[in-house]
A = this chain, B = another copy of it.
Amino acid sequence: MREKVTRQAILQISEKIVNQEGYEALTLARVAKALEIKTPSLYNHISSLNDLRKALALHALKQLYHEIMTAAVGKSGEEALKAIGFAYIHLMKDNPGLYSATLSALDPQDTEINQMSSDTIAIILRVLEPYHLSEEKAIHFVRGLRALSYGFSTLERQGGFNIDVPLNESISIAFDIFIKGMIATLKK
């Protein structure tokens, strides 16, 4: 007896497939098989494979938003910023398929995806508020944090580094230095 097939169910099984079998394994044939239906039946719920990919990317960004929000709640300042960075990196590490999905969100015009990105960045901006940065300074700050988060996620995925020096330590050091450094440039 199979589950009811809905757009949500398709997204759920897609997430499982990309995380367990890699992003390239996401085919309509694979999804249909998992749902025990024939491939064309999927078109009752999605409009194309690209549509599914975009939906999956959006799904990933929503999870990201939630994780980051959760990580930042109850914290402030440097602690909050670092926690946000770690939340991003760890989510991407634990869900490699979602990582790929967000990266291959090719269409930079998609409204929903842009909205979700903006919402997530807004969390960081709220944490930065007490510092009363100029808009320009805030932009540089946010970009640096994003670059570190993206970059360490990529690094984590590539792997192949000395296990004796844990990556988390490198992440911690890099965020500390960047955050403290950025804040220091304000006090002068």
Closest chain B residue to A164 by CB distance? B136
Residues of chain B with a CB closer than 8 A to A182's CB: 173, 177
Is A143 a contact partner of B161 (Cβ separation < 8 A)?
Answer: yes
Residues of A in contact, count (CB < 8 Å) = 38
Residue of B nearest to A165 (CB): B139
State whether B155 touches A143 (Cβ < 8 A).
yes
Whether A108 and B139, one on each chain, are in contact in the complex, defined by CB atoms closer than 8 angstroms, is no
Neighbour of A180 across the interface among B171, B173, B174, B181, CB < 8 A = B181
Of all chain B residues, the one with the shortest Cβ separation from A156 is B147
Docked-complex contact A140 and B158, CB < 8 angstroms: no
Which residues of chain B are near A140, meaning CB under 8 Å? 165, 169-170, 173-174
A77 CB–B CB distance under 8 Å: no
In whole angstroms, how far apart are the Cα atoms of A103 and B47 in the complex?
Answer: 28
Q: Decide if B178 touches A174 in the complex (CB within 8 Å).
A: yes
Query: Would you call A152 an interface residue if the criterion is a C-beta within 8 Å of the partner chain's C-beta atoms?
Result: yes
The answer for the CA separation of A139 and B174 in the assembled complex, in Å, is 12
Q: What are 27 A-B residue pairs whose CB atoms fall within 8 Å in the complex?
A: A103-B103, A103-B154, A108-B158, A108-B160, A139-B162, A139-B165, A140-B165, A140-B169, A140-B174, A143-B174, A144-B170, A144-B174, A146-B151, A147-B151, A147-B152, A147-B154, A147-B155, A147-B170, A147-B171, A147-B174, A150-B150, A150-B155, A177-B178, A177-B181, A177-B182, A180-B181, A181-B181
